[in-house]
Amino acid sequence: MDAAEQATRIKILHAMGLGPMWLSRYASDETAPVVATPAFADTPPAVVLADAGLAAPVSLVDVPPAPVTVVSEPVESVSGMSWETLQAEVASCVACGLCKGRAKTVFGAGDTAATWLFVGEGPGYNENIQGEPFVGAAGQLLDNMLHALGIRRGDRAYIANVVKCRPTDSNGKDRPPTPAEIQACLPYLRRQIALIQPKVIVALGKTAAVALLGVDPETPVSQLRGKEHHLNGVPMVVTYHPAYLLRKPVEKSKAWRDLCLARKALPGSA
Ligand code: URA
């Protein structure tokens, strides 16, 4: 690798918050320059602890929800909806019990004609309040990952989730959505994919991967990542969820490889 390529690689790794660990793994020699501080702090702010279910929930989510009638059947009539109608439908959805505790639905954000679609699990504490996907530390890392690819939210990238309302346990902490909640919400994501027509999909973590691929929910991410899947002809790559990468930064090198695989899967990239 020549000096210019090395400098570009260092910039990209730095943008992803990947420090010397990645460099030593890929550097062609041990004297390669080492980047300074990672782009995100090791200690998450209080809101992030709350997002990760590590702090007590505060008043907003404790406000008694307005009574709603929950329709137990999955949403079925979305396949012909426009973007605006779909958005309105999600905002008023009562197809599963998650609607009862929500402050805001989180429809998704970004470029509605995106090349890249990133799919997460579902809103957490902060997303439920703000109505935006991936805010907080995991969102910051995701933004760094996008930056490393030369894209960003709203510019060739769209970020969605499998479920649009925050799943919480009996203590008000984040939890993964149940299979029934996923089934109720999946038609919305499918319609988003049909409308966006992305050129590549990146599933962030197990919930997104198994929901989109329809495989056994117990399948570990490690078995699904590292290869190209196809979703109605659209290439899809599975990688680790940013929140997992924050807990296990040693896995970031694999995530970067997954992103490179996704970039290679883009039509015309060869
Ligand atoms: N985790 C997700 O999977 N999605 C979000 O929007 C936030 C955190």
Nearest CA to ligand 1 atom 8: 134
Q: What is the pLDDT of residues 223-246, one digit of tens each?
A: 999 999 999 999 999 999 999 999
Q: Which of 51, 66, 87 is the last residue of a domain?
A: 51
Whole-number Å distance, alpha carbon 119 to ligand 1 midpoint, is 9
3-state secondary structure of 118: strand
Ligand 1 atom closest to residue 208's alpha carbon, by position in its atom list? 3
Residue 27 lies in a domain: yes
Label residue 113 by pLDDT band (50, 70, 90). very high
pLDDT of amino acid 48: 31
Residue 76 has pLDDT above 80, yes or no: no
How many residues make up the chain in this entry? Answer: 270
The answer to whether position 70 is within a domain reads: no
Q: Are residues 121 and 243 in the same domain?
A: yes
Among residues 197, 199, 126, 117, the alpha carbon closest in space to that of 162 is found at 117
d(CA 87, CA 164): 11
Specify which residues 235 forms β-bridges with: 230
Check whether residue 139 and residue 228 sit in a common domain: yes
Residues 190 and 151 in one domain: yes
Q: Which domain holds residue 37?
A: 3-51
Q: Does residue 138 share a domain with residue 40?
A: no
Q: Which residue has the higher pLDDT, 8 or 55?
A: 8
**32-41, 103-112, 120-129: least confidently modelled range:** 32-41
- Do 25 and 150 reside in the same domain of the chain? no
The percent of residues above 90 in pLDDT, for the chain, comes to: 70
Angstrom distances, CA of residue 33 to CA of 11, 26, 28, 40, 112: 11, 12, 11, 20, 39
Q: Confidence class of residue 53 from pLDDT cuts 50, 70 and 90?
A: very low
Q: What is the mean pLDDT of the chain?
A: 81
Q: Are 100 and 200 contained in the same domain?
A: yes
Residue 36 forms part of a structural domain = yes
- How many folded domains does the chain comprise? 2
Within-domain flag for 8: yes
Residues 161, 56: Cα–Cα separation, whole Å = 24
- CB distance 144 to 16 below 8 Å: yes
- 174 & 228 share domain: yes
CA 177 to each of CA 120, 156, 162, 241: distance values in angstroms, whole numbers, following the listed order: 12, 28, 9, 15
pLDDT at res. 54: 32
Ligand 1 closest atom vs CA 120: 3
Closest residue to atom 7 of ligand 1, CA basis:
134
Could you tell me the pLDDT band of residue 252, with boundaries at 50, 70 and 90?
very high
Q: Which residue has the tokens 């000096």?
A: 3
Condensed to tens digits (0 to 9), the pLDDT of residues 142-177 reads: 999 999 999 999 999 999 999 999 999 999 999 999
Best of 161, 192, 206, 240 for a ligand 1 pocket test (most atoms within 8 Å of beta carbon): 161
Residues having CB within 6 Å of any atom of ligand 1: 106, 120-124, 127, 133-134, 138, 161, 243
Mark whether 23 and 121 lie in a shared domain.
no
Domain assignment present for 64: no
Same domain, 86 and 163: yes
pLDDT at 268: 86
CB 241, CB 137: distance < 8 Å: no
Q: Which of 201, 206, 119, 145 is nearest to 22 (CA)?
A: 145
Categorize the per-residue pLDDT at 267 as very low, low, confident or very high, splitting at 50, 70 and 90: confident
Task: Determine, yes or no, domain membership for 58.
Answer: no
Prediction pTM value: 0.77
Mutate to test the pocket of ligand 1, among 98, 105, 127 (most ligand atoms within 8 A of CB): 127
